[in-house]
Amino acid sequence: MIFMTKAWAGIAFGAAMLMAGTVYAVELKAGYSLPETSHYGVGAQVLAEEIAKRTNGKYTVKGYPSNALGGEREMVEGAQIGTVDIVLTSTGPVGNFVPDTLITDIPFLFKDYEHAHAVLDGPIGQEILDKFPEHDLIALAWTENGFRNLTNSRHAVEKPEDAAGLKIRTMENPVHMEAFSQIGILPTPMAFPELFTALQQGTVDGQENPIGVIVSAKFSEVQKYLSLTNHVYSPALIILSPVVWDGLTDEEKTAFKEAAKVAAKAMREKVRADAESGVETLRSQGMEVVDNVDREAFEKALEPLMAKYAEQFGKERLEAIRNYKY
């Protein structure tokens, strides 16, 4: 069934290409999970401008914000078979498609933004991107969501024992779920479009996301406490359907990659700006902010998992990331 769907998508794209050669431009659909005002919206807009410019208008990109094309996992599946052209997505669900990306989700792996950028934009990050075609996906560039922080509606969380017993929504990602279980949290995997209602109804006590996501998703309306744990650096990806990729010339492939790099840079700048102003925004909206989180205690609580990660991903690979010179 997937083969047939992908085949028909390829035929449809080929027909669009023929029209592009005569009168019409090819309009590509780019889906993402947050509003247009978010860093995803910024990335989609810049990507559209750069692709149109670099292909002389042969390709245009129309953004579909706020899960209009489905949740992140659904959009990545759509990219595989050609029903979605471009996806701007967190790495959360991507590990289910490209297991090599899971290494980036290990808690406390990256020291700061500069460290993460150096690793992902260098040979280590490129090696992971090169794995995507094996799984019927094309990864154009790494970008980011930022460092993730914990919110909940029950009580302030300063140390691991404060979080024990909380039912926290996590991404559909085994590395994240395992880490939270180790702390004593009850991880509840859930697609992002379902999250606000789940928090509102008390189905889960809390969630974890970068500051910019917490602000743009308006979680302050349904969450009382924000703990600045910075427990995981959350990359994001700009993914292209192989149905589109296979129809591009070599020059167009280069144009798409370069456009994605410019979009990724714009997203990163927006993430940093949101992180710097977002905490005060959330505080002004009534959230109680815990900024004296005992990060050392959280890291210590996760130590038993590190041996497992070393075995799963390779000790040398983990050390190469931790000790990367930048």
| 9 has a pLDDT exceeding 70 | no
> Nearest-5° angle of CA 58, CA 235, CA 200?
105
15/76: higher pLDDT: 76
pLDDT over 70 percentage in the chain: 93
- pLDDT tens readout for residues 147-174: 999 999 999 999 999 999 999 999 888 9
| 198 has a pLDDT exceeding 80 | yes
What single letter denotes the amino acid at residue 222?
V
Give the separation between CA 115 and CA 246, rounded to whole angstroms.
Answer: 33
Give the pLDDT of residue 3.
47
Give the pLDDT of residue 171.
87
* H-helix segments, the chain: 2-20, 39-54, 72-81, 113-120, 123-129, 160-163, 174-183, 195-201, 211-216, 242-245, 250-284, 295-301, 303-313, 315-322
pLDDT tier, 14 (very low <50, low <70, confident <90, very high otherwise): low
Give the pLDDT of residue 6.
64
Residues in the chain: 326
CB 300 within 8 A of CB 235: no
- pLDDT tens readout for residues 27-51: 999 999 999 999 999 999 999 999 9
Give the 3-state DSSP-derived string for 212-241, with helices as H, strands as E and coil as C.
Answer: HHHHHCCHHHCCCEEEEEEEEEEEEEEEEC
Give the separation between CA 226 and CA 241, rounded to whole angstroms.
Answer: 37
The closest of 165, 169, 157 to 197, measured between CA atoms, is 169
Give the separation between CA 202 and CA 198, rounded to whole angstroms.
Answer: 6
Over residues 322-326, mean pLDDT? 95
The whole-model pTM stands at 0.89
Walk me through the domains of the chain, giving residue ranges and CATH numbers: 2-322 (3.40.190.170)
Q: Is 214 exposed, middle or buried (0-12, 13-18, 19+ CB in 10 A)?
A: buried
Q: Which strand (E) or helix (H) includes residue 145?
A: strand 138-152
Can you tell me whether residue 87 is helix, strand or coil?
strand
